[in-house]
């Protein structure tokens, strides 16, 4: 991926983390999704007094995209957390991201963003042999 779109996507994920509602974990996460038409849709984690109901940043971003009618063209994902190391999307988020990716037939780049380091991978590497819409026949 080109350096400017990558830098913009990382900046969007970091900005989204600034809106995190995480009073229980104090672990602010931001996610940003880049689509083929250039659109960027962000998400942040949204926790709940009933702790187990927390929504992850990536899942919120996918839900926002779906709610806006976006069904494909997912080209890249950036995710960032508060620690000193890059974080990777949790297992549930990998599955949720895969749904949107498979709808458009893409294998998005995943940027795992730390304060000083960006790990680059692909969703297919994080979720090999994924179960998705095509699996239902």
Stretch that binds ligand THU, among 20-28, 33-41, 95-103, 122-130 (CB under 6 A): 20-28
Q: Is 75 a catalytic residue?
A: no
Nearest distance from residue 128's CB to ligand THU, in Å? Answer: 18
Cβ–Cβ < 8 Å for 42, 100: no
134 neighbors 101 (Cβ within 8 angstroms): no
Work out the burial of residue 128: count CB atoms within 10 Å of its CB; fewer than 13 is exposed, 13-18 middle, 19 or more buried.
Answer: exposed
Report residue 64 as tokens.
Answer: 């926002």
Quick one: which of 17, 35, 40, 58 contacts ligand THU (CB under 6 A)? 58
Applying CB under 6 A, among 15, 54, 103, 118 the residue interacting with ligand THU is 54
Residues 67-106 that bind ligand THU (CB under 6 A): 89-90, 93
Among the residue ranges 8-16, 50-58, 70-78, 109-117, the one whose residues contact ligand THU (CB under 6 A): 50-58
* Run of H or E including 17: helix 3-17
Structure tokens at 129: 């042999």
3-state secondary structure at position 75: strand
The residues of the shown chain that bind ligand THU, judged by CB under 6 A, are: 22, 25, 27, 29, 45, 47, 54, 56-58, 89-90, 93
- Residues serving a catalytic function are 58
């Amino acid at each position: 991926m080109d350096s400017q779109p990558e830098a913009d996507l990382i900046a969007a994920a970091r900005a989204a983390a600034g809106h995190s509602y995480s009073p229980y974990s104090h672990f602010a996460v931001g996610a940003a999704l880049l689509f083929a038409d250039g659109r960027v849709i962000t998400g942040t984690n949204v926790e709940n007094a009933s702790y187990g109901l927390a929504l992850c940043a990536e899942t919120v971003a996918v839900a926002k995209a779906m709610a806006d009618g976006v069904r494909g063209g997912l080209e890249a994902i950036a995710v960032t957390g508060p620690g000193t190391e890059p974080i990777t999307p949790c297992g549930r988020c990998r599955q949720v991201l895969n749904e949107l990716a498979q709808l458009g037939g893409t294998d998005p780049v995943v940027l795992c963003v730390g304060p000083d380091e960006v790990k680059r991978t692909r969703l297919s590497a994080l979720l090999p042999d994924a179960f998705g819409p095509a699996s239902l026949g």
